[in-house]
């Protein structure tokens, strides 16, 4: 069960549940605008934090340009991020490590629940497996009869 859980987790994370797919889903979802708001908010807060004490005097030095500068930085980051998506998604996959989490959780399932989870996957093609087994049985039987019959 542990080996199957490990291989199933690898298959799922390589094809379905990974950072690239999660980001694609987020961008296409209705919640994308909210995610952008959060990104804008945290980027602005990070700039304020980096500015430190100077943030208090920044408006008097640069006026309203400080807010404009923060918006420019957000816009620049939004333009720049797609260029680094491969590195970013690789980092997210490594940081979250969904594959290990899924493998551990699947391996921890009781055997009957694990089999119950996998059964519907194979049930769809069960007739094909039975047919293939029958055909292989006939071929092996004919080969055996031909070899032992002489």
If one counts every other C-beta atom within 10 angstroms of the C-beta of residue 66, the result is 19
Q: In this structure, are residues 18 and 98 in contact, taking their beta carbons and an 8 Å threshold?
A: yes
Cα–Cα dist 103/3, whole Å:
9
Q: How far is CA 99 from the centre of its chain?
A: 9
Pairwise pLDDT comparison (119 vs 23), residue with the higher score: 23
CA distance 24 to 52: 35
* Chain segment 77-99, per-residue pLDDT in tens: 999 988 998 999 999 998 989 99
pLDDT tier at 61, thresholds 50, 70, 90: confident
Whether pLDDT at 150 is above 80? no
pTM score of the predicted model: 0.59
pLDDT at 50 over 90: no
| Residue 54 reports pLDDT greater than 80 | no
Residue 119, pLDDT score: 76
* Per-residue CA distances from 23 to 39, 71, 107 (Å): 14, 22, 28
DSSP 83-132: GGHHHHHHHHHHHH-HHHHHHHHHHHS-HHHHHHHHHHHHHTTHHHHHHH
Tell me if 66 sits within 8 A of 58, measured CB to CB.
Answer: yes
Interacting residues of 51 by C-beta distance below 8 A, sequence separation 6+: 58
Q: How far apart are alpha carbons 43 and 70 in whole angstroms?
A: 8
């Amino acid at each position: 069960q542990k080996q199957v859980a490990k291989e199933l987790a690898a298959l799922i994370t390589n094809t379905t549940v990974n950072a690239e797919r999660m980001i694609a889903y987020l961008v296409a979802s209705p919640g994308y605008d909210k995610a952008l708001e959060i990104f804008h908010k945290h980027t602005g807060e990070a700039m304020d934090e980096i500015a430190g004490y100077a943030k208090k005097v920044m408006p008097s030095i640069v006026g309203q340009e400080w807010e404009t500068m923060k918006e420019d930085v957000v816009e620049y980051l939004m333009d720049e991020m797609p260029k680094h998506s491969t590195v970013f998604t690789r980092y997210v996959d490594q940081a979250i490590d969904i594959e290990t989490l899924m493998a551990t959780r699947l391996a921890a399932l009781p055997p009957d629940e694990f089999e119950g989870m996998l059964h519907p996957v194979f049930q769809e093609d069960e007739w094909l497996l039975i047919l293939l087994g029958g055909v292989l049985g006939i071929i092996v039987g004919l080969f055996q009869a031909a070899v032992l019959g002489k």
